[in-house]
Amino acid sequence: MKIAARNTTIEQPPVKPPLEGLRKVPFPFVLLILSGVVCVVVLVSVSFGSTPIPLGTIGQILLNGTGIFHFARRWDPTAELIIWQVRLPVVIGTALVGAALAVAGVLFQGMLRNPLADPYLIGTSSGAALGAAIAFVLPFDTVYGSFFSLTPLLAFVGAMLTVLLVYSIARSDGHTPVVTLLLAGVVINAVLIALQTLVLTLSPHAQFGLQALFNWLSGGVSVTSWPPIFVVGTIILVGIVFSLTLSSVLDAFALGEEGAAHLGLNVERRKLVIVVVGSLLTAAAVSISGLIGFVGLVTPHAMRLLLGPRHRLLLPSSALGGAIFLMLADLLARVVIAPAVLPVGIFTALVGAPFFLFLLRGSKRDYRW
């Protein structure tokens, strides 16, 4: 009796997960490092392209742009034009899209407590795609008085409307059960994809529409001027900053809805806020990038593996990580068979998947749902 009792009380030595060390790093430091990496990747991305521009020159051009520094212009004036008007908008746009998708991924995974959740899950992708398909078959390109071309505008509107539709379908008696939300999302996705096919089939410009839509669906930031970046960037930055205020809410959601309610949260209202913010981020991103997969799914997981599940750190680090990830994928898409540009979605999957699997296998014990 005594022996048995003693046996059971022996403390098991704590199993140290291999990535434990990283979690101990104070988090301003982590964010500082990630921000540094973002800057480096921006510079590298800008330097690559049809005409390579040395990093030093880029640095000087960018610093001149701030108005504080005045480096002598010893470079080809077209380089300045290429950087400011062609490459930088694309790179900044890519970074914003990556950050938005990753943060939306964190929001949806946290709220749905589901590892397979990604930003497109509850209808944003099919809604945006239907919007884009309609834009491609319509005979005009821009809406009067707007610097936005029609495709991003309709994609954004389509995504938001779809999410609101899914949410209102799933809602009954003042509750929106997570399972119903997921199922409603799947069903509406199917319906909208059918509608999209129908639109393209019946359209007189079908041939042209299909090709354009294929390019759009494969994803890739294709902006040619700053105004769309400003608009989308504002939505995304506001969305990300607002998400940061939700970190303790998302932590509490890990306990389940009832557990979160016991910690004093108004669960239904918070769920709606998370859905709206997550969808705004996704729709804004999709409107300039088309459908880029994998970033929103994998970045949050990778960051959770490296830094732990607390959302106070996970949200900002995922934003930075998503930006880095998508810029690198975009860089590869541009240089691998330059001057041709491949769809960036290819590289998010081809580069992201092995990296993620490497992390996953390195911490098998640690990462269980």
Name the residues that contact other proteins, by CB under 8 A: 8, 11, 14-15, 17, 113-115, 244-245, 247-248, 251-252, 254-256, 258-259, 261-266, 304, 308-310, 312, 365-369
Residue whose C-alpha is closest to residue 246's, from 222, 276, 221, 226:
276
* Residue 173, both tokens: 């008696």
- Assess contact for 127 and 192: CB atoms under 8 A: yes
CB nearer to other proteins: pick between 158 and 316: 316
* Phi–psi pair at 60, nearest 5 degrees: -65, -40
Q: Which helix (H) or strand (E) holds 296?
A: helix 295-307
Residues 6+ apart with CB under 8 A from 356: 298, 301, 302
Residues counted in the chain: 369
CB nearer to other proteins: pick between 301 and 334: 301
Q: How far is the CB of 200 from other proteins (least distance, A)?
A: 39
| CA–CA dist 306, 297 (Å, integer) | 15
| CA–CA dist 254, 271 (Å, integer) | 13
Q: How far is the CB of 261 from other proteins (least distance, A)?
A: 5
CB nearer to other proteins: pick between 232 and 314: 314
CB nearer to other proteins: pick between 3 and 15: 15
Q: How far is the CB of 366 from other proteins (least distance, A)?
A: 6
CB nearer to other proteins: pick between 111 and 327: 111
Q: How far is the CB of 166 from other proteins (least distance, A)?
A: 22
Q: How far is the CB of 249 from other proteins (least distance, A)?
A: 8
Q: How far is the CB of 247 from other proteins (least distance, A)?
A: 6
CB nearer to other proteins: pick between 134 and 265: 265
| CA–CA dist 272, 189 (Å, integer) | 20
CA of residue 22 relative to chain centroid, distance: 24
Terminal Cα-to-Cα distance of the chain (whole angstroms)? 37
CB nearer to other proteins: pick between 311 and 334: 311
What are the beta bridge partners of residue 142?
A: 149
CB nearer to other proteins: pick between 205 and 312: 312
* Phi–psi pair at 321, nearest 5 degrees: -60, -40
Tell the burial category of 161 from Cβ atoms under 10 Å away from its Cβ (0-12, 13-18, 19+). Answer: middle
- Assess contact for 143 and 263: CB atoms under 8 A: no
Q: How far is the CB of 42 from other proteins (least distance, A)?
A: 28
Angle CA 57–63–68, to nearest 5? 145
Q: How far is the CB of 31 from other proteins (least distance, A)?
A: 14
Hey, is 120 helix, strand or coil?
A: coil
Beta strand residue intervals within the chain, DSSP E: none
CB nearer to other proteins: pick between 141 and 258: 258
Q: How far is the CB of 309 from other proteins (least distance, A)?
A: 3
